[in-house]
Structure formats: structure tokens, C-alpha cells
């Protein structure tokens, strides 16, 4: 931290993590310059906050001034192959992520959770597990609160629980959680990783790259890509499985979630009492229970939490029932694998709203589930044509030019006893600011029916 005094630092991206890391660096004596490609009117609030803190900014593009630095910090939304990043590296400028910088200032042990699916639910659940056990903690990261915005408020007695994405893990150097969790690795963000699962998996594996024998990696023993990358881990590894018993870890035994560790097997909770439903949520619950056990939380406390935890907003969130039709907001389903889990979560016929900004999706994995569970698809967003091409021979397809029209069309084709499910499999940036905005608009329209 002392080396930051008077150091010139460029921060690329003025979203919440960019603003937070700029303020953090400036507070430790760095000369910070923030650059964003968006127009000033679009990010006026962020620009006002930065300038109010005495931090210089530019908007509308990256000028040559961004290279007048010895350190460049990039926000998660800035691709590693963006011209500004490539140019900085070619000039010999050190490029790191906001997650990396936050870790430099963090005095507390870190629990970091990543995965293609389930990381928000698991991170939220781990926070609840620690909170219900009266353990001081903070939940931050990709879940909505920038890591850099909370580190100065932490003490050694805290635990920081971080949801981390592959984008945040890119350009980490020394980031080292005491407990890491790798929930799964399934195709996602293929547009950003050159349609290479190897590159994407390597990015996820950075979560445990710096862990030592004193640290622990919790991982999904049922997931092929996860098993493959974990084979290179140098730390202690503890697995969970919903398919089989394990010598050590979390699994199901006689319809109970159990943890076997150090030769002892502890029953945590009957699986039917876990409040969040579905096989994917059983896996999330196992990961959270292992982290709780490793953090010194009793089985009785975890049992109470798992009985009462209701899940997270925008993930299979029940909105309301209208004319015998249930409306469910799964806006957080931004990849095919998330939709695969969602379609398995209902026995009722489904009318699904599918589409948005495509990330290189392969919809073939959904074909049989769609044929078995879906009454109709309402294709939305930029990828509506791609969605129709994938499923036109499977189920009826309707198009909608707005979310309002999509809800109206879905209502018209749904029967009493059906589920209308917003589970897009795509990013939201064609029509909305983010998946939260998309989910909020959907819920508002459903509430207005």
C-alpha cells in the first residue's frame, strides 16, 4: 500500500466497482484517473461522485492519457482483449482487476465463491449462515456491493464473503481466499472467451491459484470441468456431490444432507426440509453447509438457516398468480445451463420468455427439456431469431418486441395451471441496464395484470 503513494493509476470503467476502487486508491495517495467509453450524461452520477472526491475523469472514450500510468485497474465489464487493455500491456503497464486491488487492503479472511451457476444464491446463503450464527461478516463482490467499497470498514475479526465472476478473476495476481468454492463450470460468456471452454475454465480456476495447504477449496465433484481444473490445486480440497457418497465432504445419505469430515459424519438437515427447491439448490446448500462447517458454524444453526432461507431475487422468484397461472421471475438465468435447471424445477406446463443479448449460446442442450415441459416460447430481444431457429420444430414460437408485449403474449397462450417463466438464457443489455432491471420490469408488468 505504501508503494501507491504518488503512483499514477488509470481506472478503466466508471461503474460501481470502478468508482469504488478509484476512491480506495485515491484515499491511499495515488493519483487516479478514471476513463469510461460511455457518454457523461449516461454515467452522470458516477462522474459527479468521482469529481466530488477530487478524482479526474474522462468520458466518451479512452484518450492517450490513460497510458500515463504505472498501474491500470479494469472493471469487470471491460474485456481482457479490449484495445485499451491490449495497448496498456504492450506498453508494459501492469493491469489488474478491482478484485485484486481490494484484496491488497483486506485485513479479514476471505470466503470467495464462483461458478457458472448458483454463485449468487450460495453467496447469499453463506452470508445468512454466518449471520444466523452471530459471526461478523460482510457480503460483497459480484453480488452488488463492490469489494473495494467495504475493505476499509473490515477488521481481522470479520469474514468477507465474496461472489466472484470469471471477469473479476481475470487479471488477479495475489488474490487468495482462505476458503474458495467452485460450484460448477458450464458454458457461459463464450463470446468473451473466444468460444473456448479451456480459457473460461482457466479463468474460474484462478480462484484457488494462490491458495496454499493452509487454505481450503470446496468444489463440485459431480461437474466434469470442475474436477478437471481442481486436479491442479495445491490446497486442501473438500467436495460435495448430490449423486454419490464421499469419503470426505457433503452428500446425501438416507434422504439427509450430511457432512463427513475428519472421520465423523454429521447430519445437517433432511433434504425435504431445505426451503430452496431443485437439485441445483441442493448442490448450493451443500456448498454453503461445507463453508459453514469450515467456519465453525454448528449443524443445528445451519439446519435452521436452510429451513428458513427463501432464495434470492430474480432467481426462480414467484411473483404472483393470475387466473390460475403462476408468474416466475428468473431474470438471473443469463446462460443456457441456468435455464436447464429452471425448466426442471416445474411439473406444470411452462410458457417461457427466452432471449436477449446472446453470449454464444448453444441451445441444443435444452431441446428435450423444452419438448417435455414447455407449452410455448415467447422469443424476445436481439436473439429472438436465434431462439426461433433453435426451437421452431419443437414447440410453438411467438415473438414480442418489448417486455410488455412479451407478458401480454405469454398471458394469452398460457392455460390455467401453467407457469409463465422469464428465464432468458441471455444477457439483458439489449433492452435493459442489467438483469435486475429486466426482472423488475417483468415483475411490475405482472403486478399490473
User: Alpha-carbon distance 284 to 79, whole Å?
Assistant: 28
Q: Which of 89, 63, 66, 85 is nearest to 74 (CA)?
A: 85
Please identify which of the residues 62, 119, 158, 373 carries the catalytic annotation. Answer: 119
Question: Among residues 85, 115, 284, 80, which one has the least CA distance to residue 207?
Answer: 115
Is 135 a known active-site residue?
A: no
Phi, psi of 90 (to 5 degrees): -65, -25
Cβ contacts of residue 36 below 8 Å, gap of 6+?
12, 13, 14, 18, 43, 46, 57, 58, 59
Closest by alpha carbon to 139, among 123, 122, 154, 151?
123
Active site residue 213: no
Question: What is the residue whose three cell numbers read 417435455?
Answer: 372
Strand 256-261 to 249-253 pairing: antiparallel
DSSP 384-448: HHHHHHHHTTTS-EEE-SSHHHHHHHHHHH--TT-EEEE--SSBSTTTSSSHHHHHHHHHHHHHT
**Residue among 157, 162, 134 nearest 304 (CA):** 134
**Separation CA 236–CA 177 (nearest Å):** 12
Give yes or no for a contact between 217 and 211, defined as CB atoms under 8 angstroms apart: yes
Q: Catalytic one among 62, 117, 142, 204? A: 142
Q: Please give the Cα distance from 99 to 172 (Å, whole number).
A: 7
- Of 62, 137, 158, 189, which is the active-site residue? 189
C-alpha cell at 397: 414460437
What residues contact residue 384 under an 8 Å CB cut-off, 6+ apart?
Answer: 355, 399, 400
- Cβ(116)–Cβ(188) below 8 Å: yes
User: CA 268 from chain center: how many Å?
Assistant: 26
Going by C-beta distance under 8 Å and a sequence separation of 6 or more, which residues neighbour residue 100? 171, 172, 173, 174, 175
Nearest to 356, CA basis, from 428, 446, 308, 294: 428
Task: Give the alpha-carbon dihedral of 287, 289, 295, 296, to 10 degrees.
Answer: -160
Known catalytic residues are: 119, 142, 189
Amino acid at each position: 500500500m505504501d508503494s501507491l503513494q504518488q503512483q499514477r493509476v488509470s481506472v478503466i470503467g466508471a461503474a460501481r466497482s470502478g468508482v469504488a476502487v478509484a476512491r480506495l486508491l485515491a484515499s491511499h495517495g495515488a493519483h487516479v484517473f478514471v476513463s469510461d467509453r460511455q457518454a457523461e450524461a449516461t454515467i452522470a452520477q458516477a462522474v459527479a461522485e468521482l469529481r466530488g472526491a477530487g478524482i479526474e475523469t474522462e468520458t466518451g472514450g479512452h484518450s492517450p492519457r490513460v497510458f500515463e500510468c504505472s498501474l491500470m485497474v479494469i472493471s469487470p465489464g471491460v474485456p481482457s482483449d479490449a484495445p485499451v487493455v491490449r495497448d496498456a500491456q504492450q506498453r508494459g503497464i501492469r493491469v489488474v482487476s478491482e478484485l485484486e486491488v481490494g484484496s491488497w487492503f483486506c485485513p479479514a479472511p476471505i470466503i470467495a465463491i464462483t461458478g457458472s451457476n448458483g454463485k449468487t444464491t450460495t453467496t447469499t446463503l453463506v452470508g445468512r449462515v454466518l449471520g444466523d450464527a452471530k459471526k461478523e461478516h460482510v457480503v460483497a463482490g459480484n453480488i452488488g456491493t463492490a469489494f473495494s467499497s467495504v475493505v476499509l470498514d473490515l477488521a481481522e475479526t470479520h469474514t468477507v464473503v465474496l461472489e466472484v465472476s470469471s471477469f473479476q478473476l481475470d487479471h488477479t495476481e495475489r488474490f487468495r481466499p482462505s476458503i474458495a468454492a467452485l460450484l460448477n463450470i458450464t458454458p457461459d460468456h463464450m463470446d468473451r472467451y473466444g468460444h473456448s471452454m479451456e480459457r473460461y475454465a482457466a479463468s474460474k480456476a484462478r480462484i484457488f491459484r494462490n491458495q496454499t495447504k493452509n487454505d481450503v477449496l470446496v468444489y463440485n465433484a459431480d461437474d466434469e470441468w470442475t474436477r478437471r481444473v481442481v486436479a491442479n490445486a495445491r490446497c486442501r480440497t473438500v467436495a460435495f456431490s448430490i449423486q454419490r457418497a464421499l469419503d470426505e465432504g457433503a452428500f446425501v445419505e438416507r434422504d439427509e444432507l450430511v457432512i463427513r469430515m475428519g472421520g465423523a459424519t454429521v447430519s445437517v438437515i433432511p433434504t425435504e426440509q431445505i426451503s430452496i427447491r431443485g437439485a441445483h439448490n441442493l448442490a448450493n446448500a451443500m456448498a454453503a453447509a461445507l463453508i459453514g462447517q469450515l467456519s465453525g458454524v454448528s449443524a443445528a444453526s445451519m439446519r435452521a438457516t436452510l429451513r428458513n432461507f427463501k432464495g434470492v431475487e430474480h432467481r426462480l422468484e414467484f411473483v404472483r398468480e393470475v387466473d390460475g397461472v403462476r408468474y416466475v421471475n428468473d431474470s438471473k438465468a443469463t446462460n443456457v445451463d441456468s435455464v436447464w435447471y429452471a425448466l426442471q424445477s416445474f411439473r406444470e406446463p411452462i410458457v417461457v420468455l427466452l432471449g436477449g443479448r446472446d453470449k454464444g449460446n448453444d441451445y441444443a442442450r435444452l431441446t428435450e427439456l423444452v419438448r417435455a415441459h414447455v407449452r410455448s416460447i415467447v422469443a424476445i430481444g436481439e436473439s429472438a431469431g436465434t431462439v426461433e431457429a433453435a426451437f421452431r420444430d419443437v414447440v410453438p414460437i411467438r415473438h414480442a418486441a418489448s417486455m410488455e408485449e412479451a407478458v401480454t403474449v405469454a398471458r394469452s397462450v398460457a392455460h390455467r395451471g401453467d407457469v409463465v417463466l422469464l428465464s432468458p438464457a441471455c444477457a439483458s443489455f439489449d433492452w435493459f441496464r442489467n438483469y435486475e432491471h429486466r426482472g423488475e420490469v417483468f415483475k411490475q408488468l405482472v403486478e399490473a395484470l
